[in-house]
Amino acid sequence: MSQELSSESLWAEHGLTGLVLFALFGLIMLFLKIIVKKDSIHQEFIQLLLSEERGERKEARSEMAANTSKLSMAIDELTHELRYRKVGPRGTVRSDKRKIKEEAQS
């Protein structure tokens, strides 16, 4: 285009229609630029949320493993005590120490 944007012949030829189309094209480009910027901000926010959630899940799994280990040890101790308990002469419960020692040696 050899004619400049401010020349009278260009405005006389295209007039208001050209101005409206140019403004519409400019608004569409501005709208797309804003949408892309917001989308990148939202993507960053989503990545931040996902990384935080991964950390929380990792902590929850480690806590769950520790609790499972404690419960397993408690169940083992209770099983051991129930296996070797005896009822005394007055109805009291006492452990058979001899069987416990034999089990520990074997």
Take residue 6 and report the two structure tokens written for it: 């401010």
Rounded to the nearest angstrom, the gap between the alpha carbon of residue 31 and the centroid of all alpha carbons in its chain is 32
- Going from N- to C-terminal start, the domains of the chain cover 8-105
Average pLDDT, stretch 56-77? 91
pTM value is: 0.39
DSSP letter at 4 equals -
What local confidence, expressed as pLDDT, does residue 1 receive? 47
pLDDT tens for residues 8-54? 676 677 777 878 888 898 999 999 999 988 888 888 888 888 888 88
CA distance 13 to 2: 14
Find, among 86, 105, 102, 106, the residue nearest to 94 by Cα. Answer: 86
